[in-house]
Structures are given as structure tokens and as C-alpha cells.
Amino acid sequence: MRELKILAVVVALTLITYWGVEPFAHSQMHPHVDAADYQFKDADGLKGMKGNAEAGAALVQANCIACHSITSQSFPPLMDDKTSAASYGVVPPDLSSAGKIYNADYLAAFIKNPAKAAKTEHKFQDGATHPMPNYDWMQPQEIADMVAYLQSIAPKEMTNKEVFADACQRCHAIKYGDMQKGTMAAFTPDENIKAYMGKLPPDLSQYIRSRGESYLHTFINDPQKHLEGTAMPRVGLTADAEQQVITYMQEVGDSSKADREALGPKFLIYLVIFAIFAWLWKASKWRDVH
């Protein structure tokens, strides 16, 4: 009985200390931010307007493919990554999957005014302009048509890795994704992306561990929430696409998770058996002395 009391004291003091240096300290160091908004309510979006994909096809071909490739529709990139990064500052995204991975309202808002939708207006002051021009001179219906077209050509299914590549890899490398071959380097060469963003965007290999899943969700949804003034744009991913990005980061950065979860219970069962035998042995030895 006395020993149980001592154990209770030891456990209580340990838990108080643990609570202080983990949950409590982290709540003090990382202030709470609002939940992610996947509706992008603040963006100047479609406002319920329906678009016509056929009309949109002509508009996209007339306005977008001068810079953007749409490989799935036989509009290949006009330049290699290095040259296009040198021309635009950053490699423009291929639009094949844009209709799937980005929220429709966000896409519309982005076409109208990219810097505003991406919340990076602070970066484009004093004559500096976003590499993609504003299309707010277009009719709202025309913009809705283009969004409808992008959605109509988007693939139904994409792998986690494809979503990551389309959404993040223009700027971010994730070298553990393919350590041997180097194919997971950022598309935009280091010197261009550094000039464009102000600093080299971090390699994301270990971000699932250094930031954690819940931080990544709120961060990707709106980078300004956690890092006010950051050059990283709000990319406008849908909830599903964002989940795929984070799942990919998990597969790359924490690839032993499945092994760990499979092996853990076996270890614990073995140890419970060990503990039972140890207590029986103890009881048999101490019976003689008490």
C-alpha cells in the first residue's frame, strides 16, 4: 500500500513536469490560429456563377498557353524549366491538373488578381509585379468559363506524389522523396527561386516531423496565419488535394510509420508477459522472507 502511494507521487510529479514542458510550453510558444478555410470565402471568386467549358477552352488557349503548358491537352511547355524560370522568375505551373487540385473560387480570384488571391501583395510593391498579370478586365462570365474548362480537363484521380509535384515542387524540393535520383528537386533552379522568393524555400523532406500535420494544414491553407509577411503564396488547394500533399510528405518523411505501428503491439505483448513472469518470480522469492 505504501509503495502504491509512493508510486502515485512519482507518477504525479512526472506528469506535472511533462505537462509543463510539452503541452503547456507549446501552447505558449505557438499561439492558436483559426481553422483552415477550404471555401476561400474571403476570395473574390465565382460568386455562384456557372461557367461554360467550351467557351472557356477558346479563352484559355487565347490567354494562358503563351506562358503555361497544358500537357494533357497537347500544349507542351515552350521552354525547359531553366529557361522559363529565367524568363518569368519562377517556372509557371502546368494547368492540366489545376481544375482538380485548386478550389474553383480561388482559381477565379487568382485569375483576376494573383497577388491578392495568394495573399502576397506585400511582395509586389513599388513597381514590382506578380509574374502573372491580372485578368480582372475580363467579364466575370469569361473567368467562370475558363475555370469550368480547367475543371473539365482535370484528371479524375491523381497520386499523392502527383499532387505534391503540381502544388509544391515548383519552389520546394523534397529530396528524401527520391534521394538517389534527384528527381524531387524543385523545378525552378535555386538561384531563380532564391531571387524570386527572397530566400531558398526549404526542402520539405522532414517537414512532417518538424511542423506536424495540424500545423501543415493551417499553414498550407493560409501561410500568412503562421508566418506573417512570408513570401509563400496561398496556393488554394482543396481540402482533398491538401490531404494528399500532407499524406505524401508523411510517406516521404516518416516512411517507417507502418512498421512502427505493426511492431509496437508485439513488443508490448511480449513485455507484458515478461512482467507477469517477473512478478511471479518476485512473489515466489519474497514469500520466504516475509
Partner 1 sequence: MAKIEKANSLGEWFDQRLNTTTFTKVMMTEYWIPKDINFLWAMGVLLAVTFKILVITGIFLMMYYKPDVNLAFDSVNYTIMQEVAYGWLFRHMHGVAASVIFLIIYIHMLTGIYYGSYKKGREMIWISGMLLFMTFSAAGFSGYMLPWGQMSYWAAMVITNLFGGIPLIGDALVVWIRGDFNVADATLTRFFMLHVFLLPISIMAIIGLHFYTLRIPHVNNQTSEDIDYDAEAEKYLAGNKKESKVIPFWPVFISKDFAVLGIFLIFYFYLVFFHYNFAMDPVNFDPADNMVTPAHIYPEWYFLWSYEVLRGFFFDIAGFKAFDIGLAAFGFANVAFLLLPFLDRDPDILPAHKRPMFFAWFWVLMVDLIVLTVYGKLPPTGANAWVGFFAAVVFILLFVALPILTKIDAKKRGA
- Where do contacts with partner 1 occur on this chain (CB under 8 A)? 2-3, 6-7, 10, 13-14, 16-18, 20-22, 24-25, 28-29, 176, 179, 202-203, 205-207, 209-212, 255-256, 259-261, 263-264, 267-268, 271-272, 274-279, 281-282, 284-286, 288-290
Which of 111-150 are b and which e, b meaning 16 or more Cβ less than 10 Å from the residue's Cβ?
bbbbbbbbbbeebeeeeeebebeebeebebebbbbbbbbb
CA-closest candidate to residue 249, choices 213, 215, 225: 213
Q: How far is the CB of 263 from partner 1 (least distance, A)?
A: 7
By C-beta, is 158 or 249 nearer to partner 1?
249
Q: How far is the CB of 64 from partner 1 (least distance, A)?
A: 37
By C-beta, is 126 or 261 nearer to partner 1?
261
C-alpha pair distances (Å), 213 with each of 40, 94, 101, 231: 20, 27, 19, 21
Q: How far is the CB of 207 from partner 1 (least distance, A)?
A: 8
Q: How far is the CB of 223 from partner 1 (least distance, A)?
A: 16
Q: Which residues contact 258 (CB under 8 A, 6 or more apart)?
A: none
CA angle 37, 42, 47 (to 5 degrees): 105
By C-beta, is 157 or 259 nearer to partner 1?
259
By C-beta, is 107 or 252 nearer to partner 1?
252
Q: How far is the CB of 181 from partner 1 (least distance, A)?
A: 14
By C-beta, is 7 or 62 nearer to partner 1?
7
Q: How far is the CB of 19 from partner 1 (least distance, A)?
A: 8
By C-beta, is 39 or 277 nearer to partner 1?
277
By C-beta, is 83 or 255 nearer to partner 1?
255
The set of long-range contacts for 174-182, using a CB threshold of 8 Å and a minimum separation of 24, is 174/203, 174/204, 174/205, 174/249, 174/252, 175/203, 175/205, 176/205, 176/206, 176/252, 176/253, 177/205, 177/248, 177/252
Rounded Cα gap, residues 67 and 65, in angstroms:
5
Q: How far is the CB of 1 from partner 1 (least distance, A)?
A: 11
Q: Which residues contact 124 (CB under 8 A, 6 or more apart)?
A: 115, 130
Whether residue 89 contacts residue 141, with contact meaning beta carbons closer than 8 Å, is answered with no
Please give the grid coordinates belonging to residue 222. Answer: 493560409
